[in-house]
Structures are given as C-alpha cells and as structure tokens.
Amino acid sequence: MARAAREQWSTRAGFVLAAVGSAVGLGNMWRFSYLTAENGGAAFVLLYVAMTLLVGLPVLLAELVVGRGARQSPIGALARYGGSRWRALGFLFVAAGFLILAYYSVIAGWTVRYALVGLLMGFDGDAGERFGQLATGPRALFWHLLFMVLTAGLVMGGVRRGIERASLVLMPLLFAIVVGLAVYAATLPGAEAGYRYYFQPSFEELLDVRVLRDAAGQAFFSLSLGMGAMLTYASYLSRDTHLPAESAVIAGADFAVAFVAGLVVFPMLFAFGLEGEVGESTVGALFITLPHAFAEMGGAGRVVGIFFFVSLVVGALTSAISLFEVVVSSLMDAADFERAHASLLLGTVVALLGVPAASDLDVLGAMDTLAGNVLLLVGGLGLALFVGWRMDDPVAEAAAGASGIRWFGLWRRLLRYAVPAVLGLVLWFAREDTLGALAALAGAGG
C-alpha cells in the first residue's frame, strides 16, 4: 500500500511558531527561575547564555539539518544517515520523550489547576500549604490526566491542523502576557533588589562546575534539544528553508521569554520578601512563591496571577505537543500506525508513566534530573558526534536554502570538538547527581 505523502508545514511562520512553541514552556519559567535562584542568579544566567551559544545553537542546527534531510522521525532519520547501529540513539530520544512528558504533564497539570483556582476563588496567602495539597495525590493525578488528554487530542489533529493552528494563536498571546507582567513587576517598590540579583554575577559562582552543568542542561531543556523534538518538526520542512536563520529566531525567542520571565519572577520575589523561600523546594519554588505574591497584591494580583498561569498553560501545551509528536511520529514511521491510533495508545502509556511523578515529589525531581541533566545531554552529545563525524556531508545539507552563509565549517568543527568536550565534561561532573537520581527512582519503585 502506498504511504500518504509526508505532511508539510503550510507556511514558514507555521514552522517557526511551532518550533518556538516547543522551546517556550515550563522550562522558561518554572525550570529557568528555580535554577537561576538555586545557582546564585546572574552567574547562572550568564553561563546559560554562553552554553546556549556554544553548545545549544550548533546542536539545534544539527537537529534541523538531520530532520529536514531525512524527512523522517528520529529513529529512521539516524539510520538513514548513519546505518542501523545509530538507531540506538533514536531509541534514546524516544525514551527521553516518554520520561520528560510523563512528569512535564504533572507540572502542567498544576498550572491548569492554579489558573482555575485563581479564576474561581482567588489565590491563597498560604501558598506553601496549598502547593502541598495539590502537588501530589489524587488531585495532581486528575489534572495530569486531563492535560494528557488535551495534548493527545491536539496531536491527533495532525501537524497542520492541530499543532500549527494552536501555535499560531497561542504563542504571541503568551509573549504579550509575560511582557505585561514584567512591566507590572517594575512598578513594585523593592523590586531593585531583584534586578540586582538577576544582573550582578558573583565570580565564585561563575567558576563553579555545578552551575555550569545546570546551565548546559537548561540550555538543552529550554531549546527542546537532545531528544529529537526539533529534528521531528524539521522533518516536515521543505528544502528551501534557511535553517541558520530559523535557528537564530527559535533561540532568540526562547531566550527572550526566559529572560522576561526572570524580569517577572525576581523583582516580585524580592518586592514581597519571599527570596528566602526560593530554592528550598526546588521543584515547587515558582508555585509556592508567585501565588503568595499574587495573594499579597490583592485584587490586581488575582488578575495578574490568572494571566500568568494561563500563559504557563499555553506554553506547556505547545511544548508537550512537541514531546508527544516525537513518540507518536516514531510509532507511525516504524510500525505504520495511524496518527489517531498511535496517539491513543501512547497517550495512555505516558499517562501511566506519570502516575509515580504525580504521587511523589522526589520521584518527579529525580525524573527531571535524569532527563534534563543526563538524557538530553547524552542525546546532544550523540547527535553532535553523529553530524560531526558520521554524516557524509552535513555542510552541504545545512547549506541548502542558506546561500551566503560562510561559517558552516566552524559549525562542523564545533560539533566535532567543542560540543562533545563540553558535554562530556558536564556529564562527568554530573555523575554523582545521576547516581543519586537513579537511586531515588529505584527507591521509590521498590
């Protein structure tokens, strides 16, 4: 039976917005702000920018090159250029997709609930207690399942109708909301301390390898790299796309949202005297402190808070769609599954995988460490080696549709040497964390 022609994005904006939608999500707000708080503020931000430029951008371009060239989901794409042994890397991507989406959906579920609670009842001054009530247990499970139903429903709609349409409307809305919140935060008395924290790096932290490792992991997580999400989206592109330009737009937009989110979070935290709470419960920091701030702000806080959480839900949804698209398109390409059947089956699997994360915050944290600090970096390392050393002529592939660009040789050298060196070191220094997270997961499982 002849296969249907591969779907394509209907417009350039469709691809860019969907890719930006994938990049911009809970990573920019929940993960970026807790890691910034945990790692001393400005130093982390600086290293995160450095890692994005040195490691993130080259790997992003590599994913787009492989995806567009092979026009297949990750497993097939790697096998096509590298032979069947490279399928293993594709399986790692899919495994990372399952793992991340499982807990990502739990956190997204919290945001849905906060948005609704804000709308129906207003925010609670005792935000820590409220977080404790909703973070785990039957309620967390309910919202996690609801979020997975939404995600699977949108992915079932197909590339063009579901994802493209959702992103076209929702991404500009998200950015407008966060900018508005940042302007509001600037009017708060006491906000200066937040800006100082956010902009004045301490040299001690700049030289800390752990901060570097967290920055590298965050660069990958935030740009949706190292598990084939960008690769998969690029597989729906035509050959005349200017990939370097698209990479710059995606990375620029992703950074802009994280940066502006920081301009919301830190001034508010300091203005309301909540800085001490940040970092105490890493996973819950954003969800404990911001609702508290919203509650203290009175009536205006309720409105601001509702907008904030609605924007978080939007960002989480477009990111979750891209995570899910990786596993769904892999099953479609590998086993000739139809989109609807693959979505139903895999949505159920991910929903079940998320149950432990919805029941225990330590498990959720361990899953995030394992995925963000390890699997994505291993995936990015593998991809850099693949494109740098194994692929026949990645430069020609990248140059298609991008005449006038002269630095593809540099790009290839970065993939060959700099990216593997940096990621290798980072993974080495993260090894104890990895073992700790594995032990936590095993402990929860047994």
Q: Which residues bind ligand PHE (CB under 6 A)?
A: 22-23, 25-28, 100, 221-222, 224, 227, 229, 319, 322-323
- Rounded to the nearest whole angstrom, what is the least distance from the CB of residue 26 to ligand PHE in the complex? 4
Residues 6+ apart with CB under 8 A from 268: 185, 188, 191, 194, 274, 289, 290, 293
- Rounded to the nearest whole angstrom, what is the least distance from the CB of residue 353 to ligand PHE in the complex? 16
Q: Which two tokens stand for residue 305?
A: 């808070």
Q: Which two tokens stand for residue 25?
A: 């999500």
> Nearest CA to 57 among 430, 425, 422, 424?
422
Cα–chain-centroid distance for residue 434?
Answer: 19
- Rounded to the nearest whole angstrom, what is the least distance from the CB of residue 155 to ligand PHE in the complex? 13
Residue 337 CA: distances (Å) to CA of 4, 278, 343: 12, 45, 9
d(CA 196, CA 381): 35
Looking at the Cβ atoms of 23 and 271, the one nearer to ligand PHE is 23
> Nearest CA to 373 among 431, 298, 300?
431
Looking at the Cβ atoms of 182 and 323, the one nearer to ligand PHE is 323
Q: Which two tokens stand for residue 408?
A: 């593809």
Handedness of CA 357, 359, 362, 363 (dihedral sign): negative
> Nearest CA to 375 among 231, 221, 255, 251?
221
Looking at the Cβ atoms of 232 and 289, the one nearer to ligand PHE is 232
d(CA 120, CA 131): 17
- Rounded to the nearest whole angstrom, what is the least distance from the CB of residue 232 to ligand PHE in the complex? 10
Between the CA atoms of 289, 291, 297 and 298, what dihedral angle is there, to the nearest 10 degrees?
-150
Looking at the Cβ atoms of 93 and 143, the one nearer to ligand PHE is 93
Looking at the Cβ atoms of 21 and 128, the one nearer to ligand PHE is 21
d(CA 60, CA 79): 19
- Rounded to the nearest whole angstrom, what is the least distance from the CB of residue 222 to ligand PHE in the complex? 5
Looking at the Cβ atoms of 23 and 166, the one nearer to ligand PHE is 23
- Rounded to the nearest whole angstrom, what is the least distance from the CB of residue 236 to ligand PHE in the complex? 16
Looking at the Cβ atoms of 130 and 222, the one nearer to ligand PHE is 222
Looking at the Cβ atoms of 22 and 281, the one nearer to ligand PHE is 22
- Rounded to the nearest whole angstrom, what is the least distance from the CB of residue 34 to ligand PHE in the complex? 13
- Rounded to the nearest whole angstrom, what is the least distance from the CB of residue 337 to ligand PHE in the complex? 21
- Rounded to the nearest whole angstrom, what is the least distance from the CB of residue 357 to ligand PHE in the complex? 15
d(CA 279, CA 298): 25
Looking at the Cβ atoms of 18 and 26, the one nearer to ligand PHE is 26
d(CA 103, CA 440): 15
How many other CB atoms are there within 10 angstroms of residue 150's CB atom? 18
